[in-house]
Amino acid sequence: MSDLPRKAVTRTAKLAALPLGFAGRATWGLGKRIGGRSAELVAREVQQRTADQLFKVLGELKGGAMKLGQALSVFESALPEEVAGPYRAALTKLQEAAPPMPSGTVHAVLEERLGEDWRELFLEFEDKPSAAASIGQVHRAVWHDGRNVAVKVQYPGAGEALLSDLTQLSRFARLLGPLIPGMDIKPLITELRDRVSEELDYEQEAGSQRDHAEEFADDPDVVIPGVVHQSDQVLVTEWMDGVPLSDVIAEGTPEQRDRAGQLLARFLFSGPARTGLLHADPHPGNFRLLPPDEETGENGQWRLGVLDFGTVDRLPGGLPQTIGDSLRLTLAGEADAVYELLREEGFVKDTIDLDPDAVLDYLLPIIEPAQVEEFTFTRSWMRNQAARIADPRSPAHQLGKQLNLPPAYLLIHRVTLSTIGVLCQLGATVRLRDELESWLPGFLPEDEQEPSVREPAMREPEVQEAAVLETAVREPEVQESEVQELAGDAPLGA
């Protein structure tokens, strides 16, 4: 059997070998430099070998190891272009697939959780998984009523493996830092550990997915598969076809990229406002781009399909108004007001004194996408932001180290950063301000805010006649990414 836990000692040995491999490659690189090769070429080769080993191990082990790999994959955009190529293939592999567990193990789980006659629940069941991820894999099937369904089966021992992997990885988190410039990986691992119980709870996941499916049932832009059946370690949902976002990133048309980016931003901000929940696992493997609905002909536009609600942030009042207020004030150049707000919310500790103008200068570059009607997210923009914050010699780095990220904002921060990473991978041109105006509390001045949640945001520029008049009288806005800038010691990661 090659199911997830394997032998604990084997998993630990594989993970423990990673730091040794890093050290060995560093020694090998030193030898190459002594032999006359340029430091730049040697460093690039060392990074490539490191990426190959790291993500091969993370993908094979699944569990917490693969969960970390998926979380890192969305930050590929921050890598310098000369080394991004070798990483890109290894990283994106983790967004869609992993080695599957044997069919015998799958059948055993289904028999235990659905009963000895589990096959009677299905007209068809494909033993070969259609996708394999960090704690479970998905099989395509036909439910007994004829519906096409996705059957998610949790790996036996997934909880133990998740905790064990993340504990082991946290011990040498500093060694992983150079893989993603400017990102502090240890807080990311800590946050992933804190979410283990939620990831494993399929009852909670089913509830979160039902809430989203009900709210978005008639939405022309976002599609959520309905929940068909749920039991411990098994979750059956409606099947969703479509183009995986990883394929759109690799070879999508400009139209597909822009549409996917717009809807991804819309879902990020509208979800909490409409459901009180924030989908907290925004890597490309969890999204599909669906062709226009031929039956209803809704605008003849692509739609966004959303999968995997295993991790959510519960925000009964939607996203915190502090985020919208601080973004609005930052764009308005009100340095003192921004600084006081950040201090009140704990982003600046009482023991720290900072120059309000310096804080404003720190925040403004990253909220550039909200200063224009539409913004094209690119890898080069992401790299520039990473370099600005990661360089120990830069004022931005020195100031960022003195900022604090309150626990209540940690998951929001990671989701925002991950979404920005995906937008940059897509190279999408997005009307971010439209989404912020429609869904982010506090982003508009109080006299322009409506008392209740707005209707779904206007579709796209060509069908936004009403939005033209509405936007003309509004003030400039801000962007989700200001949240990412408030991270201080983790400017490019959770």
Q: Which of 282, 20, 2, 11 is nearest to 163 (CA)?
A: 11
- Close Cβ partners of 413 (under 8 Å, ≥ 6 residues apart): 405, 483, 484, 486, 487, 490, 494
Residue 306's φ and ψ, nearest 5 degrees, are -120, 130
What is residue 425's three-state secondary structure?
helix
Compute the chain's Rg from CA coordinates.
23
Residue type, 421: G
pLDDT reported for residue 71: 64
How is residue 177 written in tokens?
């830092």
- Rounded-to-integer distance, Cα 110 and Cα 420, Å: 38
Angle formed by the axes of helices 8-34 and 39-61, to 10°?
Answer: 170
pLDDT reported for residue 6: 47
How is residue 372 written in tokens?
């224009």
- Rounded-to-integer distance, Cα 64 and Cα 55, Å: 13
What are the domain boundaries of the chain? 8-94+159-191, 103-157+197-238, 242-494
Residue type, 3: D
pLDDT reported for residue 283: 85
Q: Cα–chain-centroid distance for residue 128? A: 27
Q: Are 233 and 101 in contact (CB under 8 A)?
A: no
136-143 and 277-279 as β-strands: parallel, antiparallel, unpaired?
unpaired
Q: Are 169 and 189 in contact (CB under 8 A)?
A: yes
Burial of 329 (0-12, 13-18, 19+ CB in 10 A): buried
DSSP state of 458: P
pLDDT reported for residue 368: 93
Residue-wise pLDDT tens for the chain (494 aa)?
344 444 444 555 555 555 444 444 343 333 443 444 444 444 555 555 665 666 556 555 555 555 666 666 656 666 655 555 555 555 555 544 456 778 999 999 999 999 999 999 999 999 999 987 667 899 999 999 999 999 999 988 777 777 777 777 776 666 665 555 555 677 777 777 777 778 889 999 999 999 999 999 999 999 999 999 999 999 999 999 999 999 999 999 999 999 999 999 999 999 999 999 999 988 888 999 999 875 554 567 999 999 999 989 999 989 999 999 999 999 999 999 999 999 999 999 999 999 999 999 999 998 999 999 999 999 899 888 888 887 778 888 889 889 888 888 888 988 998 899 999 999 999 999 999 999 999 999 876 665 444 444 333 433 333 333 333 333 333 333 333 333 333 332 33
pLDDT reported for residue 16: 55
The strand ranges marked E within 323-443 are 375-376, 429-430
pLDDT reported for residue 29: 38
CA dihedral of 402, 406, 411, 417, whole degrees rounded to 10: -30
- For domain 103-157+197-238, give the fold: Phosphorylase Kinase; domain 1 (3.30.200)
Q: Are 236 and 143 in contact (CB under 8 A)?
A: yes
